Every structure is written in C-alpha cells, then in structure tokens.
C-alpha cells in the first residue's frame, strides 16, 4: 500500500524561485531514495482560521508564503528506509545547509491513504 509523507513550511515570498530550484534539484535524489511522486504547492488561498491554520502551525511571518508538499512511497517500509538514507547521505546534508526557508518551523508526518480517487 502507498505511503505519503506530507510537509508544511513557511518560505519567504522573495525565495519562491530559489525554493522551486531547490525542489527541482532534490527530485533525482528523492527518487533515488524511493519516492515515486513528489508534489510541491505554493500558497494561493490560505485563509486565517479562528483557532488555528497553516500560517500559525509553522509560525509564518508576514513576508512568508505557505508551501504544502507531499511525497508518495510504495510502502511505509520504503519510506522508513528512505528516511534512514536521507539522514546519512552527505548530499542531503549539503541541501539542508542551503534550504531557502527555516526548516525548524516545518511540520511533517507520515500518512496511510484511506481514499485515493
């Protein structure tokens, strides 16, 4: 069964093109680790909530946009192995050093699909 790892991050609006280049650079590496699909989405219509919302979840600053992303893996086992490889691969460490956003405020998690149309 497929497995999905999702992400939400706050990216400075001025870094949109840098973020896109960063994501495009990462595609080949993530595919090498087992990602079968990678989707990156830039904020278009992200309303403020009454209790919580995407912006508050990542402590977005006024000059930042929300990025909503996900990776698909063939299974949770493939995702787990990919995460192990990512943590030890020097290429990932290099990418981490030049991330165009504050990774400490990024939220992420793994999900089992329950509906896929």
Residue 116 domain-assigned? no
Is there a contact between 10 and 102 (Cβ–Cβ < 8 Å)? yes
Residue 117 domain-assigned? no
Residue 47 domain-assigned? yes
CATH code: domain of residue 37 = 3.30.70.100
Residue 7 has pLDDT above 90, yes or no: yes
Residue 85 domain-assigned? yes
State which residues form the domain around 103: 3-67+76-111
- Summarize pLDDT for 55-67 with one digit per residue, the tens: 999 999 999 999 9
When divided into structural domains, the chain yields a total of: 1
Is there a contact between 67 and 41 (Cβ–Cβ < 8 Å)? yes
Say what the pTM is.
Answer: 0.91
Contacts 24+ apart (CB under 8 A), 40-48: 40/67, 40/69, 41/67, 41/68, 41/69, 42/16, 42/67, 43/67, 43/68
């Amino acid at each position: 069964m497929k497995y999905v790892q999702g992400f939400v991050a706050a990216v400075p609006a001025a870094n949109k093109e840098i973020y896109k280049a960063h994501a495009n650079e990462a595609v080949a590496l993530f595919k090498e680790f087992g990602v079968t699909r990678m989707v990156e989405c830039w904020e278009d219509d992200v309303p403020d909530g009454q209790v919580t919302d995407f912006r508050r979840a990542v402590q977005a600053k006024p000059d930042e946009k929300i990025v909503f992303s996900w990776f698909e893996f063939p299974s949770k086992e493939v995702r787990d192995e990919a995460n192990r490889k990512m943590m030890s691969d020097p290429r990932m460490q290099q990418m981490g050093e030049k991330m165009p956003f504050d990774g400490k405020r990024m939220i992420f998690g793994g999900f089992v699909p329950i509906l896929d149309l």
